[in-house]
Amino acid sequence: MFARVAIAGVISTLFVALGAAPAAAAEPETPSKTIRIDPSYQQPAFEGWGTSLVWFANATGGYPEPIRRKLVDMLFGPDGLNLNIARYNIGGGNAPGVRTNYMKNGATMPGFWSAPPGTTVADKDWWDAENPDHWNLDADADQRWWIDQIKDDVDIWEAFSNSPPYFQTVSGYVSGGFNASTDQIRTDRVDEFATYLTRVAQHIEQAHGIDFDTIDPLNEPNTSYWGTTLGADGQPTGGRQEGAHAGPALQQAVILALRDKARAAGMRVSAMDETNPGIFMTNWNAYSTEARAAVDQLNVHTYGTGSRTSVRDAAKASGKKLWMSEVEGNWGPGTTDYTGMLPGLGVATRMIDDIRELEPSAWVFWQPIEDAIPQQAGNGNWGSIHVPFNCTAADTLATCPVRTNTKFDTIRNFTHHIRPGDHFVKVDDPSTVAAINTSRKTATAVHVNTNTADTTVTIDVSAFRTVRSAATVTPVVTSTSGALIRGNPVRIRNDRATLTVPAQSVTTFLISGVQGVDKTEPLIRNGHVYRLDGVASGKSLTPDTAKTTTVLRTPTAAADQLWSFTKLTGGHTNQERYEVTSPATGKRLTVRNNALVLEDTVPGVPAGPVSSGGESEAETATAGTTGADDGGTDAGAVVRNSAAVAGDADPAAQWVLSTTGDGTWTLLNVGSGRLIDVTGQATADGSPVGTYTPTSGANQRWTVTDETVLRTDDVAVHTVPRLAPVLPATVSPVYRDGARGSLPVVWDLPEERVWRQAGKVRVKGTATDPLGGEHRATAVVTVDTFVRTLPVEARTYPGGRPQLPDAVIGIGRHGGRAELPVVWEPGTYDQLGQVTVHGTATVADGSTLAAAATVTIVEPVEVDAAADDGVTIAATYTESGYSTAGLRNGVRTEKAWSNWRSGTKNTTDTITVTLPAERDLTRFVTYFYRDGSTASFPSTLRVQVLNIDGTWIDASPEITVGSEGSPIVDVPLSVTGPVTAARVVMTARPSGYITASEIELYAKAVPA
């Protein structure tokens, strides 16, 4: 046997003696998935897609007309990326006499100032904003050329700064400080910096006839990226672009200085364009109330992807609009790739993840146009368009070639079809986003298939209120076969349409003829009751014994684990508000002094209990609410939406629910801006539950399960003539998600005479739910003399165990049929062929009948047992913002799990897969994720399985993991007998961390 390590599509083989060969692989089957689009959870109206201008505009604005015109059309033209948002960079500018070629090509931005003759880098106190001789408002001709070319295509403009002018910095250089981790903006020049930005922005507006909606004075401020190194001649040799470190205190000073000046100039302040959501939250949590109020729009980059949902929740808590204002990436095979799909799949996956987790109102690129020369020299794939940044006036498109990679194509799958004014909605597939256009009665979904096989996709539109008879789904596909290839429409039948998408492709599904929200679709409905289970603990939110606060408890059927939600607003947005009440106590969840408490809905007057049986399938809108049935109402942020709240509801008792579509939710308190949080990430029974600022931790996410009993399932019982049946003490309740659990039942027994002859008797009963609600129950009793059983069939593989039924069908003398419990004799299944297994079935009167099962033993195939229902995956440590749940979602290229932590890194970590039943395992496959340029993989790993005695035993030797590409480590397992769990034990590289995309655990199975 051998362990296979596949790296960046190239497979190398390590031969390891591990015993017998694994089961044969299953016959190739087309993977399939169903994508359900849910318009009951709508993001605000989307503002659009954009880019920063800055370097590429500075480099190309002076190019010959054919070249620069082509570039303009490729970004903002209808056949290009079709962007509608532009961010203009207000350059700082280095001192006279400073080298202009030490930063990246295009990154040396001119400042809008004019220094007196003889000024040097040492002269930093000369500038006077009121002296017209100190301004050069004609600067930056090349970036400004772009403004005039695109202004008719741009709906929203933002101005931003990477660094103040050199004379407002500590080091005297716009490329950063001599210590990249110390504040670089002069505290005594903060007010002048704000003046500089607003004056330049106003001039650009007047000179070019545009309006800046927002202005951001900072860029990735709380990082160590921005540093300047001087050579022996005193000239800078290091520093790649303009940048200025600013810790949270200095950030606030800059924002407050800019606030009034910007507003007086008709602009709003945006901030802080931090490099990733985690550092953004560090900054934001440190801001004062005044500083937060001064920020009108939150801007974040996603060069790191953890904590995206924290920024989402922080934006909702603050009532601010949120932009994903910058990202790019080097997705690819390790070489510059103009034809392969990896760059296109990478950027499309990032777009989907950002939209699902951040819920931004705009999504903006850093630089779609990149310098071809360093990209090709460094095997890079940044940008979607490559052109040399050193072309001259004599060049042509032949000598200054413009090339695109597949990003250019897959981006257009989004930007051509999801447009400003559309609303992103909830989707249950992590590889898909969807948006609706209420005026056109259409929906658009974009799906990324990273699999190396074609995939059958079923689009489910049953959540819409109306699906017209002529509704269709039209695919627009980008793959290695071509870009944006439009397929034939597929008719939607029974709310579904099924299509096949190519391997490694991005497909846009254009859905016509759908609108509104089906009345049964919203998860939260008035009159229903719910269970809130912690994602990290699996335990239920429950009032404590004093009924004053909440704790975790092991899930039971107790009434105190149920919660009712009263909707206070009337739309279908992602910012609807609810009051959450415990029906068992009559108290509501409220936050007082940041503590989660239970208090009477009206002081001194507890609310009355409600039944866990729903009174109506329709949701009743609260008086005074707003919103239309088709969900077209725009979603305001939490604070801005307060006018739509019914009555005089206390914000401290109002809650907003948010989800990525993965079935888990955060609960945000409107009054405090904090989330329901299991204190200390505890998981034990009785652990306290409170509130905390958003962290994206699993201890802040909850599954919300509708526990409203809709009806009960009929029960089937049998007896023989003249014998009263034994009726069950419980029946199965039917909930929104199907039948599960049990309810006690009391039967209204008929007279004894009904059992005297063969036939069917229906017995009525009353079942009682945990809150005292009563529900009709029915037992269907078959009365007959049973004389034989029907044979059954099963299959297994050599050495396997057939799944024989617990009951067989008994046939009565008068034609009655009933399930009879059966006990099977042991069988031997070690050879291919057929085996007859005998059993004994028992009738209600204690008599027995022979039973038989024919078991066919076939060659086994391999299936991924990790993808089965009931499987759980856990890790010894997971970075906040990530989850092991993503390791079994079928996406092999996303950053699903990470063990990164600040400071000392973990030397080892373990990922464990626990199965719901015993399986004969064959292989354990781990898809690792390359985190940027970091080899974020273990140095070695080994696989272990859980022995019958509860100990872990090795099922493989130690495997060395390569450092190139994104390793796929496929480890055959040496296992004797079936097991219920396996784990991969990973040893980190020195000072390194580990990121992974997917876990697959293969087991023997019978062919489908």
Q: What is the pLDDT of residues 824-839, one digit of tens each?
A: 999 999 999 999 999 9
| Sign of the CA dihedral with 587 first, then 588, 589, and 595 last | negative
Burial of 70 per CB tally in 10 Å (0-12, 13-18, 19+): middle
Domain stops at, among 377, 402, 417:
417
For 765-779, what is each residue's pLDDT tens digit?
Answer: 999 999 999 999 999
818, β-bridge pairs: 810
For 523-580, what is each residue's pLDDT tens digit?
Answer: 999 899 999 999 999 999 999 999 999 999 999 999 999 999 999 999 999 999 999 9
Question: Do 309 and 270 touch, CB atoms closer than 8 A?
Answer: no
Confidence of residue 666 (pLDDT cuts 50, 70, 90): very high
Task: Give the pLDDT confidence score for residue 881 in this predicted structure.
Answer: 67
Q: Same structural domain for residues 333 and 218?
A: yes
Kindly tell me if the per-residue pLDDT of 892 is higher than 90. no
The answer for residues whose C-beta is within 8 angstroms of residue 226's C-beta and 6 or more apart is 163, 175, 176, 177, 180, 184, 220, 239, 242, 243, 244, 245
| Residue (of 254, 195, 198, 267) closest to 222 by Cα position | 254
CA–CA dist 59, 107 (Å, integer) = 8
In a domain, 481, yes or no: yes
CA–CA dist 44, 359 (Å, integer) = 8
Q: Same structural domain for residues 794 and 850?
A: yes
Task: Give the pLDDT confidence score for residue 29 in this predicted structure.
Answer: 59
Which residue's entry shows tokens 């872990």?
Answer: 952
CA–CA dist 66, 961 (Å, integer) = 49
CA–CA dist 965, 753 (Å, integer) = 78
Kindly tell me if the per-residue pLDDT of 201 is higher than 80. yes
Q: Same structural domain for residues 682 and 556?
A: yes
Kindly tell me if the per-residue pLDDT of 452 is higher than 60. yes
Q: Same structural domain for residues 795 and 931?
A: no
What tokens were used for 698?
Answer: 């699993």
In a domain, 521, yes or no: no
CA–CA dist 248, 185 (Å, integer) = 12
Q: Same structural domain for residues 509 and 562?
A: no
For 608-618, what is each residue's pLDDT tens digit?
Answer: 334 445 433 33
For 935-989, what is each residue's pLDDT tens digit?
Answer: 999 999 999 999 989 999 999 999 999 988 889 999 999 998 899 999 999 999 9
Confidence of residue 882 (pLDDT cuts 50, 70, 90): confident
Identify the weakest region by mean pLDDT among 82-96, 289-303, 900-914. Answer: 900-914
| Residue (of 277, 171, 272, 255) closest to 221 by Cα position | 272
Q: Same structural domain for residues 510 and 561?
A: no
In a domain, 781, yes or no: no
Instruction: Centre a 10 Å sphere on the Cβ of residue 751 and count the other Cβ atoms it contains.
Output: 6
CA–CA dist 939, 967 (Å, integer) = 11
Q: Same structural domain for residues 866 and 853?
A: no
Kindly tell me if the per-residue pLDDT of 5 is higher than 80. no
Q: Same structural domain for residues 748 and 883?
A: no
Classify residue 317 as left (phi > 0), alpha (psi -120 to 50) or beta. alpha
In a domain, 385, yes or no: yes
In a domain, 524, yes or no: no
Q: Which H/E stretch holds residue 256?
A: helix 248-264
Domain stops at, among 688, 706, 724:
706
CA 901 and chain centroid, separation: 21
DSSP 863: E
The residue-averaged pLDDT of 232-239 equals 94
The residue-averaged pLDDT of 994-1001 equals 95
Kindly tell me if the per-residue pLDDT of 25 is higher than 80. no
In a domain, 581, yes or no: yes
Q: Same structural domain for residues 920 and 879?
A: yes
In a domain, 28, yes or no: no
Question: Do 761 and 755 touch, CB atoms closer than 8 A?
Answer: yes
User: 885 vs 782, which has greater pLDDT?
Assistant: 782
Quote the domain boundaries for residue 889: 2-23+862-1005
Kindly tell me if the per-residue pLDDT of 10 is higher than 70. no
Which CATH number is 38's domain given? 2.60.40.1180
Task: Please report, as a single letter, which amino acid is at residue 945.
Answer: V
The answer for residues whose C-beta is within 8 angstroms of residue 280's C-beta and 6 or more apart is 272, 274, 298, 300, 307, 311
| Residue (of 276, 164, 274, 184) closest to 228 by Cα position | 184
Q: Same structural domain for residues 431 and 348?
A: no
The residue-averaged pLDDT of 290-314 equals 96
The residue-averaged pLDDT of 679-688 equals 96
Domain stops at, among 837, 859, 881:
859
Question: Do 319 and 263 touch, CB atoms closer than 8 A?
Answer: no
Confidence of residue 706 (pLDDT cuts 50, 70, 90): very high
pTM for this model (two decimals): 0.86
Kindly tell me if the per-residue pLDDT of 623 is higher than 70. no
Task: Give the pLDDT confidence score for residue 821 in this predicted structure.
Answer: 98
Give the chain's length. Answer: 1008
Mean pLDDT over all residues of the chain?
92
CA 841 and chain centroid, separation: 50
Q: Which H/E stretch holds residue 349?
A: helix 342-358
Q: Same structural domain for residues 62 and 211?
A: yes
Task: Give the pLDDT confidence score for residue 313 in this predicted structure.
Answer: 98
Q: Same structural domain for residues 716 and 800?
A: no
For 306-347, what is each residue's pLDDT tens digit?
Answer: 899 999 999 999 999 999 999 999 888 888 999 999 999 999
Share of residues in the chain with pLDDT > 70 (%): 92
Antiparallel, parallel or unpaired: β 807-812 and 872-875: unpaired
Kindly tell me if the per-residue pLDDT of 1002 is higher than 70. yes
DSSP 343: H
For 262-284, what is each residue's pLDDT tens digit?
Answer: 999 999 999 999 999 999 999 99
What tokens were used for 813?
Answer: 């003398």
Which CATH number is 829's domain given? 2.60.40
Task: Give the pLDDT confidence score for residue 21 in this predicted structure.
Answer: 43
Share of residues in the chain with pLDDT > 90 (%): 86
Q: State residue 931 phi and psi, 5-degree precision.
A: -90, 90
The residue-averaged pLDDT of 505-513 equals 98
Task: Give the pLDDT confidence score for residue 901 in this predicted structure.
Answer: 87
Long-range contacts made by residues 947-954, C-beta under 8 angstroms, separation at least 24?
947/979, 948/977, 952/983
Work out how many domains the chain is built from and give that number. 6
Which CATH number is 702's domain given? 2.80.10.50
Kindly tell me if the per-residue pLDDT of 4 is higher than 70. no
Cα Rg of the chain (Å, integer): 32
Question: Do 919 and 979 touch, CB atoms closer than 8 A?
Answer: yes
In a domain, 686, yes or no: yes
Classify residue 538 as left (phi > 0), alpha (psi -120 to 50) or beta. left
CA–CA dist 971, 923 (Å, integer) = 5
